A and B are shown apart, each in its own frame.
Chain A
Amino acid sequence: DVKVTQSSRYLVKRTGEKVFLECVQDMDHENMFWYRQDPGLGLRLIYFSYDVKMKEKGDIPEGYSVSREKKERFSLILESASTNQTSMYLCASEGFYEQYFGPGTRLTVT
């Protein structure tokens, strides 16, 4: 079974803080993704990585950056958290056209 883990299930941060969300997969997948899920909007792609040190912007990259120094690890960084970044963040790893998701991090920015 593919396992995708995320560093935190729940996180509360203050406006302006730098936030790191980490994701690790154990299937040697090349492609990894960060999404945010908001009610009524489904899952929206923030960033995508197709190899170590390679990344591409998704649909809503503003206010976010990513890092992929090792194949199994993909980090999402909120440079200066804002209240409109309060959301559920989901990491996914892809194998054979199907994406496998981590449990999600519920981030609240106050």
Chain B
Amino acid sequence: DQQVKQNSPSLSVQEGRISILNCDYTNSMFDYFLWYKKYPAEGPTFLISISSIKDKNEDGRFTVFLNKSAKHLSLHIVPSQPGDSAVYFCAARTMYNNNDMRFGAGTRLTVKP
């Protein structure tokens, strides 16, 4: 069962515009959410996270929004840059359990110059 879903396998955006990557989850026990970025032939790198007590977290060009009632989160990248082209994984977990992090299938973002 896929508890974390990224329904868009790919997204193409023009440089300078906003990129919005979406993620849905089904397990209401999840209380911590993360985004990872992965370049080809490299491991995923942590990008940004948010706990369930917040609805927004911002770090430079990256903002994550959490809508708990809809079980939905999104990652906004503004402005998008060609170097942002990568696969983005959404992940969710409970903070009290060590081994229940669940990942989405990933969204491949392409930022065109």
Q: How far is the CA of A99 from the CA of B42 in the complex (A)?
A: 15
Pick from B32, B46, B49, B89: contact of A43, CB under 8 Å: B89
Q: How far is the CA of A56 from the CA of B2 in the complex (A)?
A: 20
B45 within 8 A of A: yes
B contact residues around A102 at 8 Å (CB): 43
B69 within 8 A of A: no
A48 within 8 A of B: yes
A9 within 8 A of B: yes
Pick from B34, B46, B105: contact of A42, CB under 8 Å: B105
Q: Mark A89-105, 1 if CB is under 8 A from B, else 0.
A: 01010100111111110
> How many residues does chain B have at the interface if contact means C-beta atoms less than 8 Å apart?
24
B contact residues around A40 at 8 Å (CB): 9, 105
| Residues of A contacting B: mostly | strand
A56 CB to nearest B CB, Å: 6
Give the one of B43, B89, B106 with max A CB within 10 A: B43
Pick 16 A–B contacts, CB within 8 A, sort by A.
A31-B99, A33-B101, A40-B105, A42-B4, A42-B103, A43-B103, A45-B99, A45-B101, A48-B99, A56-B99, A98-B34, A99-B46, A101-B44, A101-B45, A103-B41, A104-B42
B27 CB to nearest A CB, Å: 14
Closest to A44 in B: B103
**CB within 8 Å of B: which A75-110 residues:** 90, 92, 94, 97-104, 106
B contact residues around A44 at 8 Å (CB): 103
| Residues of B contacting A: mostly | loop
A contact residues around B93 at 8 Å (CB): 97
Residues of B within 8 A of A (CB): 2, 4, 6, 9, 32, 34, 36, 41-46, 49, 89, 93, 95, 98-99, 101, 103-106
Pick from B2, B89, B98: contact of A50, CB under 8 Å: B98
A4 within 8 A of B: yes
**CB within 8 Å of B: which A35-65 residues:** 35, 40-45, 48, 50, 56, 58
B42 CB to nearest A CB, Å: 6
B contact residues around A97 at 8 Å (CB): 32, 34, 49, 93, 95
